[in-house]
Amino acid sequence: MAELNENEPHFQELTNDVSKEKIQKTALQELQRGNYDFALKAIQKGGVDFSELIENLKIYQAELEIQNEELRDANLKKDSAFQRFSQLFDYLPLPVFVIDSYGIIHNANFSAEKRFNMSLQALCSHYFPRLVSKSHHRLFRNLINQATETGLPVSDEISLHPNQQPEFTADLNVVSLANQPSELQFIVIIIDQTQRIQQTAMIELQRRRFSAYFETAPVGIATVNPDKQWQDVNQTLCQLLGYTRTELLAKKFARFNTYTG
């Protein structure tokens, strides 16, 4: 318990100004600070109603309890939100990493472990650029710099190579976390583009095959748009109808369509 010091400014103020309101206000403040000796001396000097002062202190205590309850509720909500985010991070069906500005991995989810064929323990403290194709190291560093400078999500297509697995191409999405500059970290989300690239290549191959057949087919072939305008015609059809390709493309398909069913 704090000792009473009659040289304290508050005590001198009480001696000079003995109004009940002033003494009561000061005494209550000292009670709240835990300076019980000073508060008691203020009561003795000013003749303040002790029961009234205690009642005010009870009100103040009740307000503190309400604030503490609100703080506990806020902390519970914060913990709940963090748990939900952690579950989302862990089970997101995309490889996700948390790295620092040097590229050191601090966390990774289950999808990252599976896609890169490494355990979480092996990934953590691993250097992320080692997972990036050497030809794309500069591109990766540019993404980190852009995310740092703008504070906005940035992305680019980058080649990655997992442990003992073939290299693959992915969209690398990077966003900075709201940390102190000295502890700046980034979320890195990887969207594997392997299937899209394979499908695009397959479509292109089929297009080339059809184009080769279209030009050399022994039968007339044409493509028509919804407005019944020729889009393309092969040489065989031009010969059958007696037009050049340019002339035929300028005409409506309906002009040659005799089907009335």
Shared domain for 81 and 119, answered yes or no, is no
DSSP letters for 48-101: --HHHHHHHHHHHHHHHHHHHHHHHHHHHHHHHHHHHHHHHHHH-SS-EEEEET
pTM metric for this prediction: 0.60
Tally of domains in the chain: 3
Instruction: Give the tens place of pLDDT for each residue, 94-103.
Output: 999 999 999 9
Shared domain for 99 and 80, answered yes or no, is no
CA 173 – CA 155 distance, rounded (Å): 4
Range of the domain at 181: 92-192
Instruction: Give the tens place of pLDDT for each residue, 131-146.
Output: 999 999 999 999 999 9
pLDDT for res 6: 46
227 pLDDT band, cuts 50/70/90, is confident
Shared domain for 63 and 133, answered yes or no, is no
Does 203 reside within a domain?
no
CATH code, domain with 137: 3.30.450.20
Does 150 reside within a domain?
yes
Does 206 reside within a domain?
no
**What rounded mean pLDDT belongs to the chain?**
81
